[in-house]
Amino acid sequence: MNARIPIQSLPASTTDASCADLPVLRERGQREVFCGLTGIVWLHRKMQDAFFLVVGSRTCAHLIQSAAGVMIFAEPRFATAIIDERDLAGLADVHEELDQVVQRLLARRPDIRVLFLVGSCPSEVIKLDLSRAAQRLSRLHQPRVKVLNYSGSGIETTFTEGEDACLAALVPEMPSRPAAEVDTPELLVVGSLADVVEDQFRRLFAAIGLPRVAFLPARQASTLPAVGPGTRMLLAQPFLAATAKALEDRGAVRIPAPYPLGVEGTLAWLLAAADAMGVDSAVVEAATAAPRQRATQALAAMRTRLAGQRIFFFPDSQLEVPLARFVSRELGMQLTEVGSPYLHRTHLAEELALLPAGTQLSEGQDVERQLDRCRAAAPDLVVCGLGLANPLEAEGYATKWSIELVFTPIQGFEQAADLAALFDRPLQRRQRLAA
């Protein structure tokens, strides 16, 4: 097993339903989607004392490096321990080699406090038990370093499920709330947010009278918030099913809410949190008046250009339903189809209720059939993964990469115009090229 530590370059059926229970076309065919390893690209930037060691192939290393776009002199907090031919042939002790890689890594990077061993397709195929390896290495390197593991394998996970698996691995390590505090509600925001967005939300929560708000993941993975009865959980991302279940098993209660995309979604998200924590809605309205006004004004010009434009969402990130609600209600775009890898109806109930009646939803993917439906719909803009974007562009469609909607800070009032611009720019570029 060779270590690639980033010294240089590694930096079909439908049912009639109401608007809140829209019919869903369920497909189980060939998919076009990234594996969960891609989540490392934003998680390694968020958790500043954590390191992600992928146990996989050179293909895994190239995928992460390409997705991250790391410059040659950068030293990010991820690497790949490469499974080579000797490991696959059983000529080497994979566990012994992994121990040596971890030892060298920790000696070189003394700032690491939490080390994630990330499973991949190759480690799944050869049945490498990274769970036991993490337990063994954690005992060896405690108390300085805690070693955890999760799977980012394309066999088990899709694009954003890597974050879900990572955060779910952190939940057992979270301390329990003291018994004396369980009667005092405490807010926990769950889902990776850019630091600038987290800071904005902290200021808004403080303005509405909620100064004690914890975030998961925290900027320091070794300093986790407490959880238990009395914890009120507010999801910032719709793809955290396993994490939410793990937190509920620890006693946390989820706050039903739309997601903080656009003016409407962000206000509803904050109002739901305030209601759960006993804060009057009038306080929220007053505290958010200025940023709401700025965001509404910033959206006005783009709504003029985007209203009436037809948009098609291929399944990729599980952000598709909240994004569809935003572009439909705040930008006036017409939804031709909204696809998602998975539809968690409980976590998306508030979003689904806000979609226009008759919206075509699809869950899962049969890529050839979905391409046929896309061509038949002839949308003005297609939101899809990288693997489909270039072929569709060659056919004359304007496209937006789904991955950009995950990598870019898009949550909150201040980012509403940035989010709208991600849909506006491909259409503006298409018009300029046509002219």
Domains of the chain: 2-11+33-157 (3.40.50.1980), 179-290 (3.40.50.1980), 291-434 (3.40.50.1980)
Strand 2-4 and strand 78-82: the pairing is antiparallel
Query: How many Cβ atoms from other residues are within 10 Å of residue 404's Cβ?
Result: 12
User: Residue 82's pLDDT band (boundaries 50, 70, 90)?
Assistant: confident
In this predicted structure, the answer to whether residue 399 has a pLDDT above a threshold of 60 is: yes
What pLDDT is stored for residue 379 in this prediction? 98
- 113 or 89: which carries more pLDDT confidence? 113
Torsion of CA 224, 228, 232, 235, to 10 degrees: 50
In this predicted structure, the answer to whether residue 11 has a pLDDT above a threshold of 50 is: no
What pLDDT is stored for residue 16 in this prediction? 38
- By percentage, how much of the chain surpasses pLDDT 70? 91
What pLDDT is stored for residue 206 in this prediction? 96
In this predicted structure, the answer to whether residue 74 has a pLDDT above a threshold of 80 is: no
Q: What is the CA radius of gyration of the chain?
A: 22
Residue 50 identity:
A
Helix (H) or strand (E) holding 214: strand 213-216
Contacts of 107 (CB under 8 A, 6+ apart): none
Report the C-alpha gap between 344 and 352 in whole angstroms: 10
In this predicted structure, the answer to whether residue 308 has a pLDDT above a threshold of 70 is: yes
SS3 361: strand
Report the C-alpha gap between 173 and 139 in whole angstroms: 14
Write the pLDDT tens digit of every residue in 413-432: 999 999 999 999 999 998 88
In this predicted structure, the answer to whether residue 4 has a pLDDT above a threshold of 60 is: no
What pLDDT is stored for residue 68 in this prediction? 73
Report the C-alpha gap between 304 and 336 in whole angstroms: 20
User: Residue 9's pLDDT band (boundaries 50, 70, 90)?
Assistant: very low
> What is the DSSP-derived secondary structure letter of residue 20?
G
Model confidence, pTM: 0.91
What pLDDT is stored for residue 92 in this prediction? 55
Work out the average pLDDT over 80-103: 76
Strands, E assignment, 217-340: 231-235, 253-254, 310-313, 334-340
Q: How far is CA 284 from CA 197, 200, 232, 256, 404, in A?
A: 18, 14, 18, 17, 30
What's the token pair of residue 246? 């793990």
Torsion of CA 346, 349, 352, 357, to 10 degrees: 110
Work out the average pLDDT over 62-80: 74
Least confident piece of the model among 10-14, 210-214, 230-234, 306-310: 10-14
SS3 120: coil
Task: Please say whether the beta carbons of 149 and 130 come within 8 A.
Answer: yes
Q: How far is CA 397 from CA 53, 224, 320, 339, 421, in A?
A: 38, 45, 19, 17, 18
What pLDDT is stored for residue 214 in this prediction? 97
Contacts of 354 (CB under 8 A, 6+ apart): 258, 264, 325, 329
Hey, CA dihedral for 384, 385, 389, 395, is it positive or negative? negative
Strand 398-401 and strand 334-340: the pairing is unpaired
Write the pLDDT tens digit of every residue in 160-178: 999 999 999 999 999 999 8
What pLDDT is stored for residue 154 in this prediction? 87
What pLDDT is stored for residue 144 in this prediction? 93
Least confident piece of the model among 13-22, 267-276, 315-324: 13-22
Write the pLDDT tens digit of every residue in 185-194: 999 999 999 9
Q: Is 19 annotated as a binding residue?
A: no
In this predicted structure, the answer to whether residue 10 has a pLDDT above a threshold of 90 is: no
Q: Is 166 annotated as a binding residue?
A: no
What's the token pair of residue 212? 């004690």
- 16 or 215: which carries more pLDDT confidence? 215
Half-sphere exposure of 85 (CA within 13 A, CB side): 0
In this predicted structure, the answer to whether residue 121 has a pLDDT above a threshold of 60 is: yes
User: Residue 128's pLDDT band (boundaries 50, 70, 90)?
Assistant: confident
Work out the average pLDDT over 355-368: 93
Report the C-alpha gap between 428 and 431 in whole angstroms: 5
Least confident piece of the model among 27-36, 236-245, 323-332, 336-345: 27-36
- 91 or 57: which carries more pLDDT confidence? 57
Query: How many Cβ atoms from other residues are within 10 Å of residue 309's Cβ?
Result: 18
Q: Is 35 annotated as a binding residue?
A: yes
What pLDDT is stored for residue 66 in this prediction? 79
- 95 or 209: which carries more pLDDT confidence? 209
In this predicted structure, the answer to whether residue 73 has a pLDDT above a threshold of 80 is: no
Mean pLDDT of the chain: 89
Report the C-alpha gap between 415 and 421 in whole angstroms: 10
